[in-house]
Amino acid sequence: MTQLQNPTPLAAPDQADKSLASLPKGGNSTADQVKVTAVTHWTDKLFSFQTDRPPSFRFQSGEFAMIGLADNDGKAITRAYSIASPHWDDHLEFYSIIVPDGPLTSRLRHIQIGDDIILRPKTTGTLNLARLRDGKRLYLLATGTGFAPFASLIRDPETYERFDEVILVHGCRTIAELGYSQKIVADSRAHPLIGEMVTAQLHYVPSVTRENFTQTGRITTLLADGKLASSLSLPPLDADFDRIMICGSIGLNQDIAAQLLAKNFQEGNLSSPGDYVIERAFVGDGI
């Protein structure tokens, strides 16, 4: 049964600056196995899955871990995956792309309940609340699978204790690609333990760029023309009050960072919390 517990902070301080480089890649000497307990396919390119959670596995909302599968020779193929479930849950959840011919996801796409997955014990990441100064509003800006770390953060009570309002923007090409975030937000609003704070404090803004929808346009455009804030009756972005987390393609991350720097927002880290933090949702140009 799912239980809310106090998070156990990781001991390592500013580890995310070393993030990917410090994580083990390949090899199976330290592999931990977890069992798949649920799988949902959202589109032909997107699926989510749950696994059981080893009692010793601890993480902070917004972090990622290395997960993977063994190839035909028994060698581990591991990749970085944001943990989409909240830290208090007794299972782990991940949200995955399917890359045609991708070394991991061309296999991972076929997982079924009862299969084993490799889960490395170490977690890290830049999208944590400790890197942000106090503020009034927290903007969570994601495209594609970049929503995954925010699926964790929007279910963490600390997010709502730190910020009066949380604005989650999820940008995708098509409406179908919003299916997972729509479900997570709806379930969070209805959750017996966190539902009240989510309903009162979370604004969810799904936007698509290649179909007609209630909200269309790239996140960068919605930010630049002020439509995002005005549509929610919020004041324009202001570094004195607003804090931002970004998770998307390299292009999206760079474009938003440029807008924020022009408004005097400062990037945060653990030794010097700031106004915004960024994580890549994947390495490369995307599919």
- Sites of contact with ligand FAD (CB under 6 A): 20, 64, 79-82, 95-97, 99, 102-106, 144-145, 148, 279-287
Q: Could you tell me which residues come within 8 angstroms of residue 257 by beta carbon, excluding any fewer than 6 positions away? A: 246, 267, 276, 278
Partner touching 80 among ligand FAD, ligand A2P, none, CB below 5 to 8 Å by kind: ligand FAD
Q: In angstroms, what is the minimal distance from the CB of 262 to ligand A2P?
A: 15
- Among all chains, which residue has been given the structure tokens 């609003």? 189
Question: Between the CA of residue 54 and those of 115, 215, 259, what are the distances in Å?
Answer: 15, 40, 41
Task: Please tell me whether residue 252 binds ligand A2P under the rule CB under 6 A.
Answer: yes
Q: Which is nearer to ligand FAD, 166 or 278 (CB)?
A: 278
Site string for ligand A2P, 187-226 (x = CB under 6 A): ----------------------xx-------xxx------
Nearer to ligand FAD, 25 or 191 (CB): 25
Minimum CB separation of residue 103 from ligand FAD in Å reads 4
Q: In Å, how far are 108, 122, 145, 176, 250 from 173, measured between CA atoms?
A: 23, 33, 12, 9, 16
Least distance CB 45 / ligand A2P (angstroms): 9
Per DSSP (E only), the strands in the chain are 33-41, 46-52, 64-70, 76-82, 91-97, 116-124, 137-143, 165-172, 202-208, 242-248, 276-280
Query: How many whole angstroms separate alpha carbon 170 and alpha carbon 247?
Result: 10
Q: Of these partners, ligand A2P, ligand FAD, none, which one is at the site of residue 217 (CB under 5 to 8 Å by kind)?
A: none
Residue nearest to ligand FAD as judged by C-beta position = 102
- Could you identify the residue written with the tokens 């000497």? 29
Spacing of C-alpha 191 from chain mean position: 19
- The nearer residue to ligand FAD, 165 or 276, going by C-beta atoms, is 276
**251 sits near ligand A2P (criterion: CB under 6 A):** yes
Choose between 92 and 237: whose C-beta lies nearer to ligand A2P.
237
- If the CB atoms of residues 15 and 201 are measured against ligand FAD, the closer one turns out to be 15
How many C-beta neighbours within 10 Å does residue 260 have?
A: 22
Pick one of ligand FAD, ligand A2P, none as the site partner of residue 171 (Cβ within 5 to 8 A by kind): ligand A2P
Taking CB under 6 A as the binding criterion, the range among 9-17, 129-137, 152-160, 168-176 that sits at the site for ligand A2P is: 168-176
Degrees, nearest 5: CA angle 195-197-199: 65
Torsion over CA: 43, 82, 134, 252 (sign): negative
CB atoms within 10 A of CB 223: 23
Q: Least distance (Å) from ligand A2P to the CB of residue 164?
A: 27
Backbone region of residue 21 per phi and psi (left: phi > 0; alpha: psi in -120 to 50; beta: other values): alpha
Given the complex with ligand A2P, which of 36 and 247 has the nearer CB atom?
247
What is the Cα 5 distance to its own chain's centre?
20
Quote the CA–CA distance of 15 and 126 in Å, as a whole number.
9
CB of 70 to ligand FAD, least distance (A): 14
Taking the least distance from each CB to ligand FAD, the nearer of 47 and 237 is 47
Residues that bind ligand A2P (CB under 6 A): 143-144, 171-173, 209-210, 218-220, 249, 251-252, 255, 286
